Amino acid sequence: MAASKVLGIDIGGSGIKGALVDIEKGAFASHRLRIPTPTPSTVDNVAQVVAEIVAEFQDDNDAKVLGVTYPGVVQRGVTKSAANFDSSFVGAHAQDVFAQQCGIPVTLVNDADAAGLAEVRYGAAKDHAGLVIMTTLGTGIGTALIYDGVLIPNAELGHLEIDGVDYETKAASRWRDEEHLTWDEYIPRLQRYYETLERLLTPDLIVVGGGISKLADQFLPHLKLSTPIVPAKLRNKAGIIGAAVYAVPAN
Ligand code: BGC
């Protein structure tokens, strides 16, 4: 029988969060445990926190595998960037380090890729054909490309250079807070970002996630795009759910 409860862990800059996921329903099957991200956020320190979360749930983790997200590029288990993490992550086989520390097989995936996969399986882009672009607006901009349900990993389109700058430094939602931007000041940045994505990739659907997506009514209706653009449905559960889905290969 296929395992239906799988542990997913979402590594973020301030917290590391885990829960069991019912991958048939795409919903949490347990409480969520959050542990603050350690300082310094070295691979070994983060691995210890991941192992603490595994220990909490191990009796009910049917699949005996673990899916983990990381907020940077991940290629075949190797973390290749570390924007908000300790530089020990750059070039580390973090997937193996986590697996050794936890004693179970681990699949490591970029955080936006996990969120995108979850939205396509169960959320705002459920069963959507063609090219779906997931974008998460937060401290940075995470992006995922999913074509006919298949993920093309590590699309780092938050770093598109637009008007001469890495546009994550303009349109990530942190700048709305840090620069105290009004919607009238922030929306043009989103317009510039999304119209560029649309021009370069001609997606069939764009999904907007990250904490700000709960305020979607304030900004989505003001964007002038020809592509449908919708708020994420799974919100801050998407990373954990996507990590769990990604960890079960036959899924
Ligand atoms: C990173 C991405 C990540 C995104 C959201 C960006 O700065 O380059 O890999 O998905 O932040 O965490």
How do residues 171-215 score in pLDDT, each as one tens digit? 999 999 999 999 999 999 999 999 999 999 999 999 999 999 999
pLDDT tens, position by position, 206-220: 999 999 999 999 999
Same-domain status, 96 and 192: no
Domain carrying residue 101: 5-114+237-247
- CATH code of residue 107: 3.30.420.40
Q: How far, in Å, from the CA of 72 to the mean position of ligand 1? A: 5
Question: Do residue 242 and residue 217 come from a single domain?
Answer: no
Query: Roughly what angle, to the nearest 10 degrees, separates helices 111-122 and 238-247?
Result: 90
121 falls within a domain: no
| Domain identity same for 57 and 150 | no
Contact by Cβ (8 Å): 110, 238: no
Mean pLDDT, rounded, of the chain: 96
Please tell me the predicted confidence (pLDDT) of residue 251: 59
When pLDDT is averaged across residues 114-141 and rounded to a whole number, the result is 97
40-70 pLDDT per residue, tens: 999 999 999 999 999 999 888 888 899 999 9
Residues 155 and 191 in one domain: yes
Q: Cα of 115 to ligand 1 centre, how many Å?
A: 12
**Do residues 109 and 196 both lie within one domain?**
no
Considering only CA atoms, which residue is closest to atom 8 of ligand 1?
Answer: 72
Residues 165, 97, single domain; the answer is: no
Residue 31 has a pLDDT of: 97
For residue 250, pLDDT over 70 is answered with no
Residue-wise pLDDT for 84-108, tens only, equals: 899 999 999 999 999 999 999 999 9
Average confidence (pLDDT) over 220-239:
97
Quick one: pLDDT at residue 63?
Answer: 82
- Measured from the CB, is residue 61 less than 6 Å from ligand 1? no
Whether 91 and 162 share a structural domain: no
Q: Are 244 and 32 in contact (CB under 8 A)?
A: no
Residue 190 Rama label (left phi>0; alpha psi -120 to 50; beta): alpha
Question: For ligand 1, is residue 209 a contact (CB within 6 Å)?
Answer: no
Q: What is the C-alpha separation between 132 and 77, in angstroms, rounded?
A: 24
Ligand 1 touching residue 109 (CB < 6 A): no
185 assigned to some structural domain: yes
- Is 119 inside a domain boundary? no
| pLDDT for 1 | 47
Against a cut of 0.75, is the pTM above it?
yes
Q: Is the pLDDT of residue 124 over 50?
A: yes
Within-domain flag for 242: yes
